[in-house]
Amino acid sequence: MKKHNFSAGPSILSEYTIQQSAAAITNFAGTGLSILEVSHRGKEFVAVNDEARALIKELLDVPAGYDVVFLGGGASLQFCMVPFNLLNKKASYLDTGTWASNAIKEAKLFGEVDVVASSEDANYTFIPKGYTVPEDSDYFHFTSNNTIYGTEMRYDPDLNVRLVSDMSSDIFSRPVDVSKYDIIYAGAQKNLAPAGVTFAIVREDALGHVERPIPTMLDYRTHIKKESMFNTPPVFPIFAALQTLKWYKELGGLKVIEKNNLDKAAILYNEIDRNKLFRGTVAVEDRSIMNVCFVMNDEYKDLEADFGAFAAAAGMVGIKGHRSVGGFRASLYNAMPKSSVQALVDVMKEFEKQH
């Protein structure tokens, strides 16, 4: 039976990425060696590393004055690396969920943190609006897509301070105006590659303004200077990332991908709104097109486990909601085909008929 992978992360990758990666595990770039055993300094892998960074720039239309680096430690290490490199006195953060609040916790180790707004009291069911960001902030940090709660800021804010965004779970889902940002970072395992690599897009002139000494590995300048090869990078995830990036380009780029994503999300949200058994969990205007959270309506609450089993029997994988929301979460990352979204909708309709 075909499996439809709605996992939140690590998550679905394109067939192209999987096939090219599988082939490179037996014979990488005609070397007669596996990608798993080659030197990261060999010319074949250096070419992969360079091409992947160049394609990130091309797809996101990254302007001059920015560098792209692959890093270890996950998006979670960026929660401390950003303030380490940028926070002198005070930074402002928007608290929209678990990942945002984890970032806030780390920033507090480095200086004053102004949480300009939070939706924690409402279990993060909406994106706060109408807040002001103090102009004396070293930067403003926000999470563009809240993977756990299913809310998303699908726009690039206009502010008079440096802008930093954790785009781990919606990077490459839409065109982004990179020129508005000083740092964008994203873990690979949601929309790019297997787990094990993170990348950051860094505006060069944002760096070098803090007084504190920065450990070599945590200083963005180290990685920029060495063209993302200061130490051994995660070779295989970067190879897989390159395959996904090539596939994105082949599809026609981020405008085309965004349109697909909007279509897919509309198919599922329309069914959630129509079906008597289900309801969405977040404010309609803040709904994520990447992570769709929904629960059973109160009068059907006791059918939750049954629906989970019914969907699993039809090949749906990874739709159990995060423990902090409950119910269900279907992640519709770029590699998720429309046919799988339709398959989930068919299962929801069929289950409704039976009840």
- Work out which of 10, 42, 74, 337 binds ligand PLP, going by CB under 6 A: 74
Closest distance to ligand PLP from the beta carbon of 299 (Å): 32
CB of 244 to ligand PLP, least distance (A): 16
Binding mask 90-109 for ligand PLP (x = CB under 6 A): ---------x----------
Judged by CB under 6 A, the number of residues near ligand PLP is 12
Site string for ligand PLP, 187-226 (x = CB under 6 A): x--x------------------------------------
> Nearest Cα to 294, choosing from 302, 285, 304?
304
Smallest CA-to-CA distance from 218 within 95, 82, 329 is with 82
Complex with ligand PLP: residue 85 or 275, whichever CB lies closer: 85
Position of minimal CB gap to ligand PLP: 74
Six-digit token string for 315: 């090949």
* Closer CB to ligand PLP, 75 or 257, in the complex: 75
Task: Please give the C-alpha separations between residue 24 and each of 21, 31, 33, in angstroms, as whole numbers.
Answer: 5, 10, 8
Helix, strand, coil share of the chain (percent; to 5): 40, 15, 40
Structure tokens at 79: 């929660």
Q: How far is the CB of 99 from ligand PLP (least distance, A)?
A: 4
Do residues 165 and 118 touch, judged by C-beta distance below 8 A?
Answer: no
**Closer Cβ to ligand PLP, 277 or 293, answer by number:** 293
| Given 119, 169, 281, 288, the residue binding ligand PLP (CB under 6 A) | 169
DSSP state of 72: S
Task: Judge whether 269 and 287 are in contact, CB under 8 Å.
Answer: yes
